Amino acid sequence: MNANAAKSNNKVPDRLKKGVRRATFRGVIKNRSLYIMLIPVVLYFIVFHYKPMYGAIIAFKDFKPFLGIGDSPWVGFKHFQQFFESYFFVRILRNTIVISLYQLIFGFPAAIILALLLNELKNQIFKRFVQSISYLPHFISLVVVCGMLIDFLQPDGIINRSLLAIGVIGEPINFMILPEWFRIIFVGSGIWQSVGWSSIIFLAALSGINPSLYEAAAVDGAGRWRQMLSITLPGIMPTIIILLIINIGNFMVVGFDKIILLYNSATYETADVIGSFVFRRGITEANYSFTAAVGLFNSVINFTLLVLVNQLAKKKAESSLW
């Protein structure tokens, strides 16, 4: 290993300009064991992610399995064109953005707030109890969750009966076939199912904050509100920003599996998103090229968003993904 390093030591300065480069190079040598650690990781990503990535070219082909990816005929932007020209393109784009926005505005802060509320609890047993309870919904399979939702929300379901009983409504509401209710049901149940689970990360970040900071602040006479603002929040800010970046990077992804379990043609108007559209189009008809084209379109938008937000975070918050 030393011989190797020495050999390349001679080469590199010839090719590169001197000065700064030499310093970086010394850094590389100094941290060589860190690079060695990274080898299996990088290898993994090459073998299981980058190697199959060439398959994305089927977006520009008419993929025929028995010809293979390489020999399937090129069709250029046909699938993209089909997607953009679809009668429903504008609508599914709008629905995707609106649902994502709801999730970002209501869902993302919910987990942080739950973590903060739990953190303020002084009774450790109660805290642990609530915390353990809050992640339960995450473990119930989506099919069962949606089944229960439909059950509860039926005209003669438990929710309508309760609302009727307390007199909020006079007539039962058939929630599942009314377009105006779909997004609320979808996003609301999503928060319910994931808020506890998502708060785990924030709780872990909270537990990483040094308790002596709080003690010092208490000595200085800062109240709990003050402590939360000046110690707790800054303490978990890096985690919040990183997760926010990732979330925004997934902006155009709305899970189609839950959509298709909950929607029906009466609610398409507000419920049909890119994912469910592609599911109907691509997967049930095994039209992989079309699916790949829409996937690529989504990825490009998401990745662009990610790069922009990351840039912004780097400047403003000095915390970023890279």
Q: Which of residues 186-215 bind another protein (CB under 8 A)?
A: 192, 196, 200-201, 203-205, 207-208, 210-212, 214-215
Distances (CA, A) of 163 to 9, 146, 156: 76, 20, 11
Segment 259-288, which members bind another protein (CB under 8 A)? 264-266, 268-269, 272, 280-281, 283-288
Report if residue 93 touches another protein, rule: CB under 8 A.
no
Q: Which of 5, 6, 12, 143 touches another protein (CB under 8 A)?
A: 143
Q: Which is nearer to another protein, 243 or 259 (CB)?
A: 243
Please state the closest distance from residue 318 (CB atom) to another protein, in A.
12
63 binds another protein (CB under 8 A): yes
Yes or no: say if 189 and 175 are a contact pair by the CB < 8 Å rule.
Answer: no
- Residue 83: CA count within 13 A, CB half-sphere: 28
d(CA 60, CA 292): 9
| Under rule CB under 8 A, residue 69 binds another protein | yes
Nearest of 250, 257, 128 to residue 190 by alpha carbon? 257
Residue among 12, 37, 169, 216 that touches another protein (CB under 8 A): 37
Q: How many residues appear in the chain?
A: 322
Residues 82, 104, 181, 297: which binds another protein (CB under 8 A)? 82
- Tally of helices (H runs) and strands (E runs) in the chain: 19, 0
Q: Which residues contact 28 (CB under 8 A, 6 or more apart)?
A: 35
Count of residues of this chain found to bind another protein when the rule CB under 8 A is applied: 124
CA distances from 144 to 12, 152, 189, 262, 279 (A): 60, 12, 12, 12, 20
> Quick check: 16 binds another protein (CB under 8 A)?
no
CA distance 204 to 246: 18
Which of 6, 84, 129, 230 is close enough to bind another protein by CB under 8 A?
A: 129
3-state secondary structure 115-161: HHHHHHCCCHHHHHHHHHHHCHHHHCCHHHHHHHHHHHHCCCCHHHH
**Binding to another protein by residue 13, rule CB under 8 A?**
no
Stretch that binds another protein, among 5-13, 39-47, 97-105, 163-171 (CB under 8 A): 39-47
Closest approach of another protein to the CB of residue 157, in Å: 8
Indicate which single residue of 117, 216, 229, 233 sits in contact with another protein (rule: CB under 8 A).
117
68 binds another protein (CB under 8 A): yes
Residue 294 tokens read as: 């829409």
98 in contact with another protein (CB under 8 A): no
Q: How far is the CB of 187 from another protein (least distance, A)?
A: 16
Secondary element (H or E) of residue 80: helix 78-85
Residues 59 and 74: their CA atoms lie apart, in Å, by: 9
Residue from 49, 70, 74, 171 in contact with another protein (CB under 8 A): 49
Residues 160-179 that bind another protein (CB under 8 A): 174, 176-177
Q: What residue spans of 263-287 are helical by DSSP H?
A: 268-271, 274-278
Nearest distance from C-beta of residue 280 to another protein, angstroms: 7
Minimum gap (Å) between residue 16 Cβ and another protein: 13
Answer yes or no whether residue 238 interacts with another protein by CB under 8 A. yes
Return the residue of 5, 6, 16, 42 that touches another protein, per CB under 8 A: 42
52 binds another protein (CB under 8 A): yes
- Least distance in Å: CB of 216 to another protein? 12
Question: In this structure, what token pair is assigned to residue 45?
Answer: 């990503």
